Structure 1
Amino acid sequence: MEFKVVVFSRYGRLGASSRLRFFQYYKYVNSLFGSVVTYPLFDDEYLTDLYSHGVRRKSKVIYSYVKRLFQIITIHKYDVVIIEKELFPYFPATIERLLNFFNVKYVVDYDDAIFQMYEESSNWMVKFFLKDKINVVMNNAHIVITGNDFLFSKAKFYGAKNVTVIPTVIDIDRYVQESTRQEVPTVCWIGSPSTQKYVVELKDVLIRVCLENKAKLVLVGATTSVGDFFPDIDLEIIPWEESTEAFIIKHSDIGIMPIASTNWERGKCGYKLIQYMATGKPVVASNFGANIDIVKNECCGLLVNSDDEWYEALTQLIKDRQLSLKLGASGRERVENIYCIQAQYKQFLKVLRSSVN
């Protein structure tokens, strides 16, 4: 029997969370379960405006909300309902309550600590009226999917009935393991305009490492203005594109992921680390959150706590070729066993099968 699945995603394919948590699973859903219809709340044009200009057009937001309301009216046509995070950001969980009231099972997915957005808002009205919103969404869900153990524990704390962890993963077929060292030692960071602040905070260390080792720094997904923080080094800033990210990572030597020690970052799922590891690159990452579970210090990379440790770890990996190869090979193996869609799609399909209305 073929089932019909509807996904109320936050974004289209340009949005990393939507692409990785849903879109890449569709080939398995289509061949082994049924058909999928996706209703993104915000389209790629909205996301482009947000990343390029920092603009959220109110008219676009209003249009998106009205459109979603009409899409929800068709929900009875589908056998499985999946929601990314929430149906209407900054609105009460009224629709989610109604779905549960009318016995419509839904699956809700979280790959970050979105509850922080409400619980710790600087706007007293948001905090007062919406601090328990995600609690309500989780409690009314048939199944909650989380991207890491921290989010799993939060869902359990909020009283969610059924919770399962499915990490954010890559398609291993898109990533080729590469052990050849680049002519110029190359340190790679991949991210977005919203996360580039972390690499800027590390600028003094990165400049020192690059100058002392005649190394190159590659920043993928950062804005060109970031170049002002990295004078006098070999720097390349490359726009992010889905079609080229794996190729760029493959032609680097070390992947880095600095993050802040905040509750928001604790909810992140370490996807960039998984990308580096998939190509057999050793990683250096902040010793915090999901990074700890993914890297397993001195197994697939080095976890660090301070600028001095960042400097020592990067310098060590540039100079110690055998260590780099060992960590890189272990990282690739770990991705093949856990952090790829080929290892996780059966669990995703299991969730769908248990959520049929």
Structure 2
Amino acid sequence: MTKVLFVVRGDATVPSCRFRAYQFEGPLGKLGVEARYFVEGRRESPVDWVRTSFRLMREVGLGGYDAVVYQKRLQRERVSLIRAFHSNVWYDFDDAVYLGHERRFRQTLKVSAGVIAGNEELASHARRHHSRVAIIPTAVEVPEIYTPPPKDGPLKISWVGTAGNLKYLEPVFAALDSIRGAGTDAVLHVLTDEPGSVSGRPGVVIEVWSKHAEEKALVDCHVGVMPLPDDDWARGKCACKALQYLSYGRPVVSSPVGVNVSLFENEAFGSLATSAGDWASALTRWNGSREEIAKAGRLGREFVIENYDVCSWALTLKTLLVG
């Protein structure tokens, strides 16, 4: 059987590891490719770095892999060590990790056999330093069974993300206060790893993230939100959370930044919002008709199945890595 090793920073609770590596295990397996994982650790002392490097070199040297995918960290030295034992080593990234680290980014790419970027914004930057750049978008698993949004009760708005991104919710909080003050029965459900930092807000329900809680939140909500600032880091984002909502058949309100612009510019299954007033108008639109939510959600789900389903992209990844 063909074998691919993913060198990752953490377990499946780390979003980029989950969506860019671990979720490919099943789809690649069906294609005759065994996916294995080597976890580096996100912070290493110099001694740990040497020990981890020896373990990694042993794994690569003896594992019989057809390809190695090194994820996201800017580690020229470690990628060079891997390539001493294996020629087919690809660097994969889904964020603008080059910001403030251009030299390390260039050096890491130079010692890689190829580069996999999560979107065109990232790929265009990578092409400055490498001639072999492919785009594999951050795809999502689409539930086999579609569950319609709730017909009754308040408008349930969902946000899922890490604590570091909670600051982006400010326009959503302001919009929630506005529409609730105007008489709309609405609740914002926030699912995050550190919920204490946004507790005590009216109309906001906080819950600690888990995969089960995430799946339940996506089923129970009417609309998902993905607020972002318009800066270089956000423009490199891969719209993963928006695609998750769509895969469950839920429309999305998003900031007009990066990939989200092309996803929602025709507003067939989502809305774009910048100011708190825009967010309030967009959320009010989706509160107007549960039938419209269901119709738009089904269109979004079909769009994801056609363009961002992980099973389809697993075949592309296999072809890229091992032919």
Q: Give the alignment's TM-score, normalised by structure 1.
A: 0.82
Secondary structure of the residue aligned to 2:233 is helix
Counterpart Cα distance in 1 of 2:226 and 2:252: 8
Of residues 219, 228, 234, the one that matches 2:203 is 234
2:313 matches 1:341 = no
For 1:258-337, what aligned pairs fall within 5 Å after superposition? 258-337=227-306
For 1:249, the equivalent position in structure 2 comes to: 218
- Taking a change above 3 Å as real, the CA distance of residues 63 and 183 of structure 1, as seen in their structure-2 partners, is farther
- Taking a change above 3 Å as real, the CA distance of residues 31 and 87 of structure 1, as seen in their structure-2 partners, is farther
For 1:134-283, what aligned pairs fall within 5 Å after superposition? 134-158=105-129, 160-173=130-143, 176-212=146-182, 213-221=184-192, 222-228=194-200, 230=201, 233-283=202-252
2:94 matches 1:107 = no
For 2:51, the equivalent position in structure 1 comes to: 67
Q: Deviations over 1:27-75 (max 9, x none)?
A: 2333433433311122xxx7xxxxxxxxx7xxx6456523321123222
- TM-superposed CA distance for 1:217, in Å, is 1.2
- Answer yes or no: is the 8 Å Cα contact 1:174–1:246 preserved in 2: no
- TM-superposed CA distance for 1:253, in Å, is 0.9
- Taking a change above 3 Å as real, the CA distance of residues 32 and 329 of structure 1, as seen in their structure-2 partners, is closer
- Answer yes or no: is the 8 Å Cα contact 2:92–2:115 preserved in 1: yes
For 1:44-59, what aligned pairs fall within 5 Å after superposition? none
2:65 matches 1:82 = no
- TM-superposed CA distance for 1:234, in Å, is 2.7
Between stretches 316-325 and 13-22, larger displacement belongs to 316-325
Q: Which runs of 5+ in 2 are unaligned?
A: none
* Count of residue pairs brought into register by the alignment: 318
- Taking a change above 3 Å as real, the CA distance of residues 117 and 13 of structure 1, as seen in their structure-2 partners, is farther
Counterpart Cα distance in 2 of 1:84 and 1:204: 37
Which amino acid counterpart does residue 122 of structure 2 have in structure 1? L
Q: Deviations over 1:147-168 (max 9, x none)?
A: 111011111122x222221111
Counterpart Cα distance in 1 of 2:232 and 2:52: 30
Q: Percent sequence identity over matched residues?
A: 25
- Answer yes or no: is the 8 Å Cα contact 1:111–1:168 preserved in 2: yes
CA RMSD of aligned residues (A): 2.2
Secondary structure of the residue aligned to 1:225 is helix
Which amino acid counterpart does residue 38 of structure 2 have in structure 1? Y
